[in-house]
Chain A
Amino acid sequence: QQQVKQSPQSLIVQKGGISIINCAYENTAFDYFPWYQQFPGKGPALLIAIRPDVSEKKEGRFTISFNKSAKQFSLHIMDSQPGDSATYFCAATEETSGSRLTFGEGTQLTVNP
């Protein structure tokens, strides 16, 4: 019940295209859903996060869509750029408990020029 399932495992997109990564969770106690971006040899970096009281959050080219009833959330990268090529991890946690982040399996995104 603690798992977060992420898909696809890898994604190739042309420059200017839309990248979409999906995650699903089971634990209804999760109430904070961040996305992390990781470049090779670096630690994960917080990209954007959402709480379940809203269905969408947008920051620049990055948008999280959240479907509480389906227990799913997704990351959309608009106008994808080669510099966006990285591994993306969704995660979930219970914010008030200070609990562990449970990460998805990761998606390796490649944006071709």
Chain B
Amino acid sequence: EPEVTQTPSHQVTQMGQEVILRCVPISNHLYFYWYRQILGQKVEFLVSFYNNEISEKSEIFDDQFSVERPDGSNFTLKIRSTKLEDSAMYFCASSVYAVSLYFGPGTRLTVT
């Protein structure tokens, strides 16, 4: 069964550093998303991406965040200057029709 993959599984970085989280969505999916989950809390929407552009972003997704689909398979989330409060599990998701999202296993980001 096709699945969303994410790398790395765990990223440790120092405050102020840039990080890039990578995702390979399911190949025939058209909608791509990033969500995050702070430990013990609910899953929060960050951004959705369709037709090579951002279709919606949340209040969390400020100028420090960016997304890119550099080729036909990868989807990346960049955090330019990480803060302590960016520590969370980041989930990539994809879907065919903008519902029925399939989530990846997540990247645990730890900012020290």
Contacts and interface: CB of A to CB of B under 8 A. Distances in A.
Interface of A: 32, 34, 36, 41-46, 49, 89, 93, 95, 97-106
Given A42-B106, A43-B91, A100 B58 contact: yes
A93 B55 CA distance: 15
Contacts, number: 57
B83 to A, nearest CB: 22
A13 B80 CA distance: 45
Given A95-B98, A98-B98, A89 B43 contact: yes
A95 B101 CA distance: 12
B91 A44 contact: yes
Contact of A46 (B48, B98, B100, B105): B100
A98 B50 contact: yes
